[in-house]
Every structure is written in C-alpha cells, then in structure tokens.
Chains A and B, each alone.
Chain A
Amino acid sequence: SAVISQKPSRDICQRGTSLTIQCQVDSQVTMMFWYRQQPGQSLTLIATANQGSEATYESGFVIDKFPISRPNLTFSTLTVSNMSPEDSSIYLCSVDPGWNGYTFGSGTRLTVV
C-alpha cells in the first residue's frame, strides 16, 4: 500500500497564527483527503484535494480557514489559519491507492494555546 509522510507530527501554536501541514505520498494518487479528529471524536472529512483543481470542501469547512494546495500527484498541504483553541485536533491526510484500504498519514497533533 502507499506510504504517506506527514509533518509536523505535533505542534503547539499561539492563537491567531497559522500552521501548514504537509503530506508526501510515495506514489501518484488522484485524490488526497484531509480529515480532522477532535479530541475523543471520530474523523471528519475537511476536503478532497485533486491535482490541478480547487479542493472540494465539506459542509462546515471553508477555504479561507483551511486552504489546501495540491501542486502534483504526490504532495498536498493543509493550512489551518487564524487558529483558535477550538482548532486543537489531530489532522490527518489520506489517499486511496485503489487496491487496498485507504492509507493514512501518522497525523499532526495540533494544540492551540
């Protein structure tokens, strides 16, 4: 299955600042997915990122808050902008290599203080 390198693994940020999370995949994939997992909760899809087009955001998530870049078929970034303590979560990227289960990055544990 695909291997995803996600970084940073964790960060503590001041409110009002922004953090960019990177995911690098070891193979070319059409779609990449970004999820948020709030403390003690399930995973919620933020957006789907296709190479060469704007990301598609789920209800409740907007581009100004979570801008996404997808410059090629192996890389994507998610930025959490103007952070508040409510943004403290684990953020995960995911891909579907097409032959097995969706692969997830190891996650970015974000704490906003």
Chain B
Amino acid sequence: AQKVTQAQTEISVVEKEDVTLDCVYETRDTTYYLFWYKQPPSGELVFLIRRNSFDEQNEISGRYSWNFQKSTSSFNFTITASQVVDSAVYFCALSGTGANSKLTFGKGITLSVRP
C-alpha cells in the first residue's frame, strides 16, 4: 500500500523567511511519481511539481525548490523568501502506474506567512 506522511501540520513564518515542508513516502512500486499541490483559501488545487522515481535531480522554479532523496524516501519542498501569497495548505502526493495510478495524498501542511 502507498502512504504519504507530512509530519508537520501547521507552520507559521514571517515574510521573507525560508521554509521547508517535509514529505516522506512509502511504496513498493519501482516506478512511481511524486507531486506537490497548493490549495489556497479559495479551495482549488494548484499543481506545483511532478517527479518520477528515476529522476533524483533537485529542481528549482523561482522561489520554489524540491529535494528528492530515494535513500530516505523523502521529497521535501522549500520556499525561499516566503510571501504572504504563499499562505495555503500544501499537499504531497504519490501515485504508481497503470492500475495503481491513483493519487495518495498526505494530510497537508497549513502554511501561514505573516507580513
């Protein structure tokens, strides 16, 4: 069975601080995909990144960066120089392939960025 653990439930930072959101996953699949989604107060789910299990390169997109480490089954997300607009719930998710392609979500992390 697939499992995603987001041990942090709520994080509060002051604007311009860096913040890292942790994600640990469990799967028996050799091919799998990891995702991060943002859910702002408006409720829609915003796709941030998709990473496959064979690509351990870290990725940077503007103020966002992701650190994928298979050795520790972690896929952490860092926001640099946080802004108030980053306030949202962030979900880490995992999917397999084929018949196991459904997304399994972590419980989410509520990030509050204070001005």
Q: List residues of chain A with CB under 8 Å of any chain B CB.
A: 1, 31, 33, 41-45, 48, 90, 92, 94, 96, 100-104, 106-107, 109
Given the complex, which residues of A lie within 8 Å of B75, measured CB to CB?
none
B44:A101 contact, CB within 8 angstroms: no
How many chain B residues touch A (CB < 8 A): the figure is 20
- Does B43 count as interface, using CB distance less than 8 angstroms? yes
Q: Name 10 interchain pairs, CB-CB below 8 A, sorted by A.
A: A31-B101, A33-B102, A42-B106, A45-B102, A92-B45, A100-B47, A101-B50, A102-B47, A104-B44, A107-B45
Query: Do A42 and B47 contact each other (CB < 8 Å), given the known contacts A31-B101, A102-B35?
Result: no
Whether A107 contacts B44 by the Cβ 8 Å rule is yes
A94 cross-chain contacts in B, Cβ below 8 A: 103
Rounded to whole Å, the gap between the CB of B110 and the closest CB of chain A is 9
Closest CB in chain A relative to B104 CB, distance in Å: 8
Q: Which of B43, B49, B102, B108 contacts A101 (CB 8 A)?
A: B49
- Whether the pair B103, A45 counts as a contact (CB closer than 8 A) is yes
Is the beta-carbon distance between B101 and A104 smaller than 8 angstroms?
A: no
B105 CB contact (under 8 Å) in A42, A90, A96, A107: A42
Which residues does chain B contribute within 8 Å of A107, judged by CB atoms? 43-45
In the complex, the answer to whether B107 meets A104 with C-beta atoms within 8 Å is: no
Which B1-52 residues have a C-beta within 8 angstroms of A?
35, 37, 43-45, 47-50
B91 CB–A CB distance under 8 Å: yes
CA distance A48 to B101 in the complex (A): 10
Establish whether residues B47 and A103, one from each chain, have CB atoms under 8 Å apart when the complex forms: yes
**Closest 10 pairs between A and B when the two form their complex, measured CB to CB:** A101-B47, A104-B45, A101-B50, A43-B105, A42-B105, A42-B107, A42-B108, A45-B102, A106-B44, A101-B35
- Which B84-113 residues sit within 8 Å CB-CB of chain A? 91, 93, 95, 101-108
**Cα(A48)–Cα(B49), bound, Å:** 22
Alpha-carbon separation in the docked complex, A103 to B30 (Å): 24
In the assembled complex, the Cα of A1 lies from the Cα of B107 at a distance in Å of: 25
Chain B residues within an 8 Å CB radius of A43: 45, 91, 103, 105
B50 touches A100 (CB 8 A): yes
| Bound Cα distance from A43 to B104, whole angstroms | 8
